[in-house]
Structure 1
């Protein structure tokens, strides 16, 4: 004795079953989570890349400013606010708070035709984690203006001064108007490590 068996077919009009719906939602959730994770990773990578590019740009800015200043270094001696005459070039090795570089540069532009010389007194110092550039409105007897921050994120700074083929850790001139031939600046920068740069200290400054 046999009986006819007719399989039950689910019509498309009946839609998804609960199990199928749950599986679909699970798959969609996994794909969405993966997409969010990938997007978050891309954003973090972009931020890290931008930070690194900003740091590299800061290093290049330091190089450009120091190159411009040191290439125009002059043997001009100045007097402080007490009238005491100072040597033409000062260099204390880059220790925090000390004068890493101090000199007078030529070629200070005067677009406003102010009553001043084309020479400018300049100093570089490491203050906390900042490399600061100090300037004076006048060469002799004037108070300095507010220093400009050239770069942040510096953990240490080392400066050496070359004269007659020898490197010195501190600039102790034989004559008050003596100038180094070249300057080496090493900056220890967060996340970048040690950055070494060399600069020529003016031309035609005598033997």
Structure 2
């Protein structure tokens, strides 16, 4: 995928034309030349020559960071965790994803997205609970 920040499979891929296909879609997010874009492919398992559809989400982006909160409440820079760590099983989801973006116009914005239901994973200052 090249310089993508995150690649994932999402559900809810609308099928207005009632084509014979899945409601799952492969998407990736990329930061290139201060432009944040979302890439998507028409098929979940794309061929290497298959072109992605690119949609520009935001311009003037200077930095994007992703961090993940594991089941113990610790921050990880990648998910799944590096090989050899306790939670290296790819079937384990993080408790939350922390998304930080810096733009020329708005400055730094930080959002936390809980992945699993339950008690709040974030304290009153916006940091992961231990």
TM range (shorter): 0.7 to 0.9
**TM-score scaled by length of structure 2:** 0.72
Q: RMSD over aligned Cα, in angstroms? A: 2.1
Q: For 1:85-113, what per-residue CA distance to the aligned partner results, in whole angstroms no more than 9, with x for missing partners? A: xxxxxxxxxxxx63322111111111110
Give structure 2 stretches of 5+ with no counterpart: 82-87, 118-130
- Give distance in 2, aligned partners of 1:181 and 1:99: 22
Q: Which has the higher helix share?
A: 1
**TM-score scaled by length of structure 1:** 0.47
Which of 174, 179, 188 pairs up with 2:102? Answer: 188
Residues 160 and 167 in structure 1, CA contact (< 8 A), matched pair in contact too: yes
- Give distance in 1, aligned partners of 2:12 and 2:3: 26
- How far residue 146 of structure 1 moved from its aligned partner, in angstroms, is 2.5
Give structure 1 stretches of 5+ with no counterpart: 1-79, 81-96
- Give distance in 2, aligned partners of 1:100 and 1:180: 17
Residues 60 and 105 in structure 2, CA contact (< 8 A), matched pair in contact too: no
Seen in structure 2, the aligned counterparts of structure 1 residues 101 and 200 have a Cα distance that, compared at 3 Å, is: farther
Residue in 2 that maps onto 1:198: 112
Which of 102, 125, 132 pairs up with 2:7? Answer: 102
Pair 1:119 & 2:24 matched: yes
- How far residue 196 of structure 1 moved from its aligned partner, in angstroms, is 0.7
Q: Which has the higher strand share?
A: 2
- Alignment length, in residue pairs? 108
Residues 25 and 44 in structure 2, CA contact (< 8 A), matched pair in contact too: yes
User: Quick check: which has more Rg, 1 or 2?
Assistant: 1
